[in-house]
């Protein structure tokens, strides 16, 4: 499983070099005070596969991971969405 996790992390880091374009919405007037809520309400849902191009099935379930594997995978996922 460790080799698989390493490859998944490499794939995620490759996606992070060319991250998905952030979705921007114009908050409606009644939600201008809280743009996070308007973003949650108005931005269309996208799966991890749509965002990264990596099949959802490629991501192991948390209970399949051992030691720090889950933390390393999560860190790699967050790198995809870090501002550049």
Residue spans of the domains in the chain: they are 2-80
**64, 8 contact by CB (below 8 A):** no
* Tokens matching residue 65: 């991971």
> Which residues, at least 6 apart from 72, have a Cβ–Cβ distance to it below 8 Å?
5, 9
Residue-wise pLDDT for 19-47, tens only, equals 887 776 677 787 778 777 777 777 788 89
Token pair 């409606």: residue: 28
| pTM for the full predicted model | 0.73
Length of the chain counted residue by residue? 84
Residue-wise pLDDT for 3-20, tens only, equals 999 999 999 999 999 988
A 10 A CB-CB count for 20 gives 13
Q: For the chain, count helices (H), then strands (E).
A: 4, 0
């Amino acid at each position: 499983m460790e080799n698989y996790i390493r490859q998944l992390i490499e794939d995620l880091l490759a996606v992070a070099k060319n991250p998905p374009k952030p979705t921007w919405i114009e908050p409606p007037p009644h939600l201008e005070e809280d743009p996070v809520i308007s973003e949650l309400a108005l931005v269309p849902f996208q799966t991890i596969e749509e965002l990264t191009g990596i099949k959802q099935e490629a991501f192991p379930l948390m209970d399949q991971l051992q030691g720090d594997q889950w933390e390393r995978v999560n860190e790699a996922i967050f790198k995809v969405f870090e501002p550049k």
